[in-house]
A = this chain, B = another copy of it.
Amino acid sequence: MNAIAVYEGADKPVVTEKPRPEPSAGEALVRTLRVGVDGTDHEVIAGGHGATPAGDDHLVLGHEAVGVVEDPNDTPFEVGDVVVPTVRRPPNGANEYFARGEPDMAPDGQYHERGIVGAHGFMAEYFTSPAEFLVEIPPALAEWGFLVEPISIAEKAIEHAYASRSAFNWDPESALVLGNGSLGLLTVATLDEDFERIYCLGRRERPDPTIDIIESLGATYVNSNDTAIPDVPEAYEPADFVFEATGYAPHAFETIEALAPNGVGALLGVPGDWEFEIDGGRLHRELVLHNKALVGSVNSGYSHFEAAVESLAALSEAFLGDLVTGVYGLDDFEAAFADDDTTIKTAVEFAAYEER
């Protein structure tokens, strides 16, 4: 079968031939429909993140997949079920984090991530997975199912941020999403029902398709070239909730200044080392005197995928159509890895969904 992989030392993905996988006991065989591309894929390709499976010279890419069960192989699934796989797998049998359904809380060394670190991804015509790591979704969502994984990332971060405010009565009204990439835009859309006012910060100038999407969602675009994050409270309003999806390290600390009293910032970016100066005294004092919190969040678990399916079902086709700027077949899969100002979200299509 065909797969899209990046070889060690290479800086571009290629189509490669791999044997079609055979499901082991407890695993189903899934025919891949679509696999999304995100910033993590670009980091993996650039060699800044992730690792090939032990003993292999390449990594099959892809962690945002949707597919159709081809062979249930004695799992509870039926042929034709539309499924989305979760990403983390236990490296050596199970461990406590997987045993309690919280692989997203496993520390370094206690997980592989398919398509990212230590395990091949889903960018292939078929993949196998233990049934416990497959989330069934409604067939009507098959076309957009590759968005379940990125939405699940937001769901987990939001859940953890809300948990941090659960010791008191918290009634957030305003949210500030840092980053107008695909995760930022999906988060703006996902938060839409919970917040009266949503702001989304980016560094693009008009005209720009991401700004159009932000405004079509009823949110306000904040141009970081005009308004630095610490100035957002005065220029717009303090945010009860900040969702950082930029990976730009100063933003993690500026978040403290953008927050309203009793607010929380969810941090999701993964920057490299970078030393810079902060007014640490002011930020420390601000965290304490106004009961603010910062919550880091990585990956997502089964329950977050389930929540993401609900959220995806609530998103409009118009928004999804604007967000997904391209779905490409194997013939022009390179286009799915473009990283320019007209590309927002892309996917590689391995097969079209056909209802049975």
Contact = CB atoms under 8 A, between A and B. Distances in A.
A105 interface: yes
A229 to B, nearest CB: 13
A165 interface: yes
Given A275-B279, A288-B268, A166 B163 contact: yes
Contact of A267 (B166, B268, B275, B288): B288
A280 B164 contact: no
Interface in A156-176: 159-160, 162-169
Given A102-B168, A163-B164, A288 B279 contact: no
A217 interface: no
Interface stretch (A25-33, A73-81, A292-300, A328-336): A292-300
Main secondary structure of the interface of A (DSSP, over half): mixed
Interface residues of A, number: 54
A298 B284 CA distance: 12
A165 B167 CA distance: 11
A261 interface: yes
B284 A267 contact: yes
Interface string A269-283: 111111111111111
A289 interface: yes
27 contacts: A102-B169, A104-B291, A105-B168, A105-B261, A107-B262, A108-B290, A163-B166, A163-B167, A164-B293, A166-B166, A253-B280, A253-B284, A267-B284, A270-B289, A273-B281, A274-B279, A274-B282, A275-B278, A275-B279, A278-B278, A287-B295, A288-B296, A288-B298, A289-B298, A291-B297, A292-B296, A294-B294
Given A249-B285, A273-B281, 10 more contacts: A104-B291, A160-B167, A253-B284, A270-B288, A271-B284, A275-B279, A278-B278, A287-B294, A293-B293, A293-B296
Interface of A: 100, 102, 104-105, 107-108, 159-160, 162-169, 249-250, 252-253, 261-262, 267-298
